[in-house]
Amino acid sequence: MAALLAAIPYARFLGITAERKGNELTTVLPFSEHLIGNIWLPALHGGVIGAFLEITATVQLLFDTQCERLPKTIDISIDYLRSGRAAETYGRAVVTKHGRRVANVRAEIWQEERAKPIAAAHGHFLLTPV
């Protein structure tokens, strides 16, 4: 997974890593000052949150499927649930439907408590089968 994330320029810029424990994959976004969008709170930039959700969903798809290339995002909807503070952020995704060419994925990210997500996303991705 480290090589995959290193191949995605924006994932490298954000510093995203992935941890595998058993059959679960958790993405990690370490806090850095350049990720702040609102300096008065301080809070993570909404674009960083959206990108982290999309990368989490993509990495989960690659973990679960046999794709030749990175899945292409068809569409993604993001629910911003609470402010992302200046702290390490974690993400998990679930492939809710997997067809031959299209997959549906639901992703959530949280900071200190998984039961209190800061954002969630639902996306459709175009797959390139093996």
Q: Give the predicted TM-score (pTM) of the model.
A: 0.93
Q: Answer whether 129's CB lies under 8 Å from 67's CB.
A: yes
Number of domains in the chain: 1
Q: How many CB atoms lie within 10 A of CB 114?
A: 12
Say yes or no to pLDDT of 128 above 70. yes
Segment 66-100, tens digit of pLDDT: 777 889 999 999 999 999 999 999 999 999 998 88
Record the tokens describing residue 27, joined without a space: 């993405």
* Structural domain containing residue 24: 2-126
Euclidean distance between CA atoms 125 and 71, whole angstroms = 6
CATH label of the domain that carries residue 64: 3.10.129.10
pLDDT at 4 (0 to 100): 84
DSSP 60: H
DSSP run (H or E) holding 46: helix 46-64
User: In 3D, which of 121, 117, 105 has the Cα closest to residue 58?
Assistant: 105
pLDDT at 31 (0 to 100): 96
Record the tokens describing residue 19, joined without a space: 């941890």
